[in-house]
Chain A
Amino acid sequence: MRLIPILALMLCATPALAAPEVYHLQPELSSVGFETDFGPDKVNGTMPVTLADLTLDFAHVGASKVAVTLNAAGADASFPFATQAMRGPKVLDTAEFPEITFVSTKVQPDAQGATVLGNITVRGVTRPTSFHAEIYRQQGAEVGDLSHLTIRLTGAIQRSTFGAVGWHDMVGDEVRLNILARIERAN
């Protein structure tokens, strides 16, 4: 995929782009990668993105909004035991809490993209967090065509703050997230 950052476009919006635009997820093209430490090794995997509703205001980036819902129950790790452990009651407890949600409260543009501050809910526990965001035009899109975009959110959470403390003596507390959501303009 050819990824072309459009941060500059966001910061130098033309009048035609001034109105906030609503975008919806293209779920089949979106996923979340995660990674954590397992002794000297890494455990990684993916989690489907169920929902991503974004309102992007290219004229006033700070007015943009992001809401993402992840299908924790559909998470897969790099080996079967890790998948079972992660979905189980000691970590994500997906039988009780099948989704992870993130809702932004503030978007701050910066030199590399933007910092999206918000609240993430894991295991029914909501904590403030932040993600680094970059937005790109999708492959094949013409310059200036913002109908289909790719948003990448990267960040990390401490699983223990959500009560996901299982196997804390074996598996790292920090879980690094890499959310790749492909979105299309609502209209």
Chain B
Amino acid sequence: MLNDATHFGWISRLIHWAMALLILSLLVLGTKLANIQPGLATLWLYGLHKTMGLTALALVLIRLIWHRISPPPAPLGPPNAWETRAAKAVHHLTYVLLVLIPLAGWVYASASGLDIVFADRWVIPPIAPVSEAWENAGLLAHSVLTKLLMGVLVLHVAGAMRRVVQRDGTLRRLTLG
């Protein structure tokens, strides 16, 4: 369950892959929502996006807390190699974006004045005043940061693929422990 100096425990692995799946789904859904004409038939997709986004925010916070409780192993490879430093930078930026993007979406939804309903059941409190300025700022931040995340994830996956080609064991310890 716990991480150690060389292995990821199953909780860290589960959170990693659950978030990977969730974030990929959110990117696809969010891109679709930005390009469709809203209507009664598609209204539920907006609620689904909010529910998934809040879940992703909860997961990243749980992950950060969990890594405090059970620190993950250090990256494989020489600590001062540019690849290792680049990987760390990408990881840190990913965490920052995974917190900021749902928060920006939450601000955007709050400022619209409409209820934010989680799982079609629970109303989530607003975190911004009902205001066109807040709404526009929230949407802009959500959109720009998401595009930045897409770029960062490309780097993350490219780095992971490089490690797969090098057979350094990173992917194995993130899947099998």
Please list the residues of chain A having a beta carbon within 8 angstroms of any beta carbon in chain B.
Answer: 38-41, 79-81, 84-85, 88-90, 170
B77 on interface, CB distance cutoff 8 Å: no
B151 on interface, CB distance cutoff 8 Å: no
B155 on interface, CB distance cutoff 8 Å: no
- Given known contacts A88-B130, A89-B130, is B40 in contact with A38 (CB within 8 Å)? yes
In the bound complex, residues from chain B placing their C-beta under 8 Å from that of A81 are: 43, 114-115
In the bound complex, residues from chain B placing their C-beta under 8 Å from that of A89 are: 113, 130
| B39:A40 contact, CB within 8 angstroms | yes
Please list the residues of chain B having a beta carbon within 8 angstroms of any beta carbon in chain A.
Answer: 37-43, 112-115, 130, 132
| B40:A41 contact, CB within 8 angstroms | yes
In whole angstroms, what is the CA distance A41 to B41 when docked?
Answer: 9
In whole angstroms, what is the CA distance A90 to B114 when docked?
Answer: 10
- Given known contacts A79-B43, A88-B130, A89-B130, is B37 in contact with A39 (CB within 8 Å)? yes
| A79:B38 contact, CB within 8 angstroms | no
In the bound complex, residues from chain A placing their C-beta under 8 Å from that of B115 are: 80-81, 84
Of the candidates B39, B43, B113, which one forms a contact with A88 in the assembled complex, judged by CB atoms under 8 Å apart?
Answer: B113
| A85:B114 contact, CB within 8 angstroms | yes
| A41:B113 contact, CB within 8 angstroms | no
In the bound complex, residues from chain A placing their C-beta under 8 Å from that of B39 are: 38-41
In whole angstroms, what is the CA distance A175 to B43 when docked?
Answer: 20
| A90:B40 contact, CB within 8 angstroms | no
| A39:B38 contact, CB within 8 angstroms | yes
Residue of B nearest to A85 (CB): B114
| A88:B114 contact, CB within 8 angstroms | yes
| B40:A170 contact, CB within 8 angstroms | no
- Given known contacts A81-B43, A88-B130, A89-B130, is B113 in contact with A38 (CB within 8 Å)? no
In whole angstroms, what is the CA distance A62 to B130 when docked?
Answer: 46
In whole angstroms, what is the CA distance A84 to B40 when docked?
Answer: 15
| A38:B130 contact, CB within 8 angstroms | no
In the bound complex, residues from chain A placing their C-beta under 8 Å from that of B41 are: 40-41
In whole angstroms, what is the CA distance A85 to B114 when docked?
Answer: 6
In the bound complex, residues from chain B placing their C-beta under 8 Å from that of A41 are: 39-41
In whole angstroms, what is the CA distance A89 to B131 when docked?
Answer: 9
Of the candidates B38, B112, B132, which one forms a contact with A38 in the assembled complex, judged by CB atoms under 8 Å apart?
Answer: B38
In the bound complex, residues from chain A placing their C-beta under 8 Å from that of B130 are: 88-89
| B37:A40 contact, CB within 8 angstroms | yes
Chain A proximity of B129: nearest CB distance (Å): 10
Chain A proximity of B105: nearest CB distance (Å): 17
In the A-B complex, the 7 residue pairs with the closest CB atoms: A39-B39, A88-B113, A41-B40, A170-B38, A39-B37, A41-B39, A40-B39
In the bound complex, residues from chain B placing their C-beta under 8 Å from that of A88 are: 113-114, 130
| A85:B37 contact, CB within 8 angstroms | no
| B113:A85 contact, CB within 8 angstroms | yes
Can you give 10 A-B contacts (C-beta < 8 A)?
A39-B40, A39-B42, A40-B39, A41-B40, A81-B43, A84-B113, A84-B115, A88-B113, A88-B130, A89-B113
In the bound complex, residues from chain A placing their C-beta under 8 Å from that of B43 are: 79, 81
Chain A proximity of B1: nearest CB distance (Å): 42
